[in-house]
Structure formats: C-alpha cells, structure tokens
Amino acid sequence: MTLLAFGINHTTAPLAIRERVAFAPDGLERALAEARQMAGLSEVAILSTCNRTEIYAASDAEADQLLRWLLDHTRMGEEDLENCFYCYRDHEAVGHMMKVAGGLDSLVLGEPQILGQMKSAYAVASQAGTIGAALHAAFQQVFGVAKRVRSETAIGENPVSVAYAAVTLAQQIFSDLKQDTALLIGAGETIQLVARHLKEQGIRKLIVANRTLDRAQQLSRELGAEAILLADIPEYLPQADIVISSTASQLPLLGKGAVESALKKRKHKPVFMLDIAVPRDIESEVGELDDVYLYTVDDLHAVIDQNKKSRQAAADKAREIIAEGLSHYLETQRAQDAAATIRTYRAQAEALRAAELAKAQRALEAGSDPEQVMSQLARSLTNKLLHPPSAALRRASAEGRSQLVASARELFGLDESAPPQNDGASNTEDGKSERE
C-alpha cells in the first residue's frame, strides 16, 4: 500500500485556482467518503485552508485516479490543475506532512495555525471513518515532530512579513483584538495578508475600504468583513481601533483634521495606525495627535529583518528535527514490515515444538527411558529448527551469495572469531531430522 500526499498550495497555484479546489467544512465528511469510493482509496484525509488543499491517502491506486476524482468533484478541467498539483509518495509524503505541520511550507515561515488545521483534518477524517492504521501512524509521527519543532525551536515566535509584523505590533497596543474593530485601507496582497492575520487572531470586526467596491467586496466575502469606498472612510473612522493602510495612491488619504475629528467622536479612545504605503497614505502630522500611535513601514523593517534571521536559524533546526522524525518513522515502519515474518517464524517453531513434545510424551507413556526421550526431543527439535536455514545457507554459498551468509552470521549473533563446526556432522544431523 502506498502513502500519498497530493495537493496544491500558495506556491503552485493562484488564488483563483485554490478557491475552486477548497473544501467547505460542512461538506468535508461527504467528500472523504466520495474520495475513498470513487478514487479507490483505502484511507483518506483532506486538509483545506486558504493557502493549500492537500489530500493524504493510503491506497493501492495510482495518483492519477485521485486527480481524476478531484477534477470531477470540483468540475475543473485537467488543464486547470496540470501545472499546479504535486504528489509525494511514502516517506516523501510523510516528510512533506511534517514540513507542513511544522510551518516550514507556509506562506509565513513558521505560522502556528497550520498545526491546528492539520489536527482538525485528522479529527474529521477519524470521525468519518476514513483513517486506518497507515494514516494514523503517519499523523501521530507528524504531530509528534511538529510539537518538537514548536517546543525546541523559535520558528513561530517572531513575525517575518510586513503583514504579520503589523498585526503583532497592533497586539502590543491592544492585547485582546477580540474587542476591536480594524479599518483596512486598500485591497492588495499586503492588506489581504493583514486581514487574514487579524481574522486568525479573532478581531471583532473588519472594515475594508478601497477605491473600487468590487475588490473590497471580494476580500470581504472571504473574511466576513464590511466593504466600503475610500470616500466613506470619514464616516467609519470613529469605529476603528486599528487602521492599517497600503494603497498605491500618490497623495495622502488621511489627514490630521479627519483623524482629529474621529478622535473626538471616540472620546479620545486610543487608535493604532500603521501606514505601509510608499508614498504614505497617512499624513505624518497625524502622529502628533494624542491617543494616536502612528507607525510607518520603516518602523517594521528592523524587526522583520532581525526576525527573518532568527526564524531561518530556527528553520534549520526544525529541518534537523524533521529528518530525525522521518528516520524514526521509517525505522518503525520497517520494524512493522518484519513483524509478519517474525510471527510466521514463531508459529512455525511453536508447531515443531508441539509436534516433538507430543512425540516425546507418547514415548514416555510407552515406557521408554526418560533420559533418552529428553535427549531425542532436544536433538530432533534442534535439527528441525536448523535444517531450513542450514540448507538455504549452503545453497547461497554454492551460488556465491556471500552477503546472505554474512547477514546470517549477524542474524544468528555468531561471533566471527568462533571456529566453524564440522560440516559433516551437521549434514548427518540434518539428514536424520529429515528422516524423522
């Protein structure tokens, strides 16, 4: 059975594709059952976030069967996904899952939410009955490694993007964002990231202002925000505890007078303002007002640069932890692969023991000398246990397969310095065991 990690993410597919492949939470169990049936999967779990959709499966089926199901489920054409998807197999699949859970494959290096999202994907699949032994073992190893990454490195402690740094700075002013309203000016990529980070931190309300309403509405639909035009900002500004702006305007959008008027309506409740735009969207004089904490993008650069170095060092350590975790997973899997052989060998030995013991008991009941019976029992059992490997080793030696002979010495724990036994005597005993 092959383990697969199949999907798309922010590095391989644009938002327009990712949103079409995303799975709604309320339809996830149905999709899991459908994937298992239609794609021929033995086990399956689905991780779906704003930055990735990944399907983890254990199956004898090929990856193209999974692709065909996904295309059918999403009603997309093959040309839409042919250059976007990736597929990892077996240990590479588990290694990829570890990178994802550890935050090494995220848009923001080390972002902490992804581990919780992966745990949720596992829980939903477990509830749906689509998790079996293979995926359970993989996920448990992945969660253990991700926990080590979080506890033994500083990968998730420092912001590494302007957007993430902006939200972190806002949290220094307002410790509980669940009580606050944020006004975001612009609808470009940076503002989109800021909006997502604020949403992840539980911001009470988001207002998105943009020059064109459709762009603001697009982001608002994704994040449950309110969309307004730039002209409406003075009306909404008194509601805003946090104002973050990033537009391409060549002239300031917020002046000292408008902010001063909003502060009066707020009864001088503090406002955090961050102007990420170049040229600036907020007049520098706004920073002179009491109860306004105004920062520019330059105030973030030193923090970001330092934190990038810090996170990169942590990421290197995280990769070492993942390599160790993957090695442990592979050792465990190989040990499990040997378990069936060990069970069969033990059963065979037990059958021989039972047969020889029964023969000895019959001899004792017939009045044979107990000492001779015990000696014969030991000799017969030893010969029958040793005959198959002895015969196999002779064939291997005759055929020049010296590696098998060397492996046998390791397998049986034979001291290389021990003198070889008389092979003729061994032949005699083997022959005797075959006649008995």
According to DSSP, residue 238 is labeled G
Specify whether the CB–CB gap between 163 and 190 falls below 8 A: yes
Q: Is 98 exposed, middle or buried (0-12, 13-18, 19+ CB in 10 A)?
A: buried
Q: Is 367 exposed, middle or buried (0-12, 13-18, 19+ CB in 10 A)?
A: exposed
Whether the CA torsion 102, 196, 189, 297 is positive or negative: it is negative
Nearest Cα to Cα of residue 253 among 229, 218, 219: 229
184 three-state secondary structure: strand
Specify whether the CB–CB gap between 318 and 114 falls below 8 A: no
- Report d(CA 345, CA 341) in Å as an integer: 6
- Report d(CA 9, CA 19) in Å as an integer: 11
- Report d(CA 63, CA 68) in Å as an integer: 9
**CA 377, 363, 353 angle in degrees (round to 5)?**
35
Specify whether the CB–CB gap between 155 and 314 falls below 8 A: yes
Q: Is 80 exposed, middle or buried (0-12, 13-18, 19+ CB in 10 A)?
A: middle
Task: State the pairing for strand pair 226-229/2-9.
Answer: unpaired
Q: Is 331 exposed, middle or buried (0-12, 13-18, 19+ CB in 10 A)?
A: exposed
Torsion angle, alpha carbons of 299, 303, 309, 312, to 10? -110
* CA 60 remoteness from chain centre: 22
Specify whether the CB–CB gap between 53 and 73 falls below 8 A: no
367's torsion region: left (phi>0), alpha (psi -120 to 50) or beta?
A: left
90's torsion region: left (phi>0), alpha (psi -120 to 50) or beta?
A: left
According to DSSP, residue 419 is labeled P
Instruction: Kindly state the greatest CA–CA separation across the chain.
Output: 116
Our answer to whether residue 50 is catalytic in this structure is yes
Q: Please identify which of the residues 5, 50, 124, 263 carries the catalytic annotation.
A: 50
Which residues are designated catalytic?
A: 50
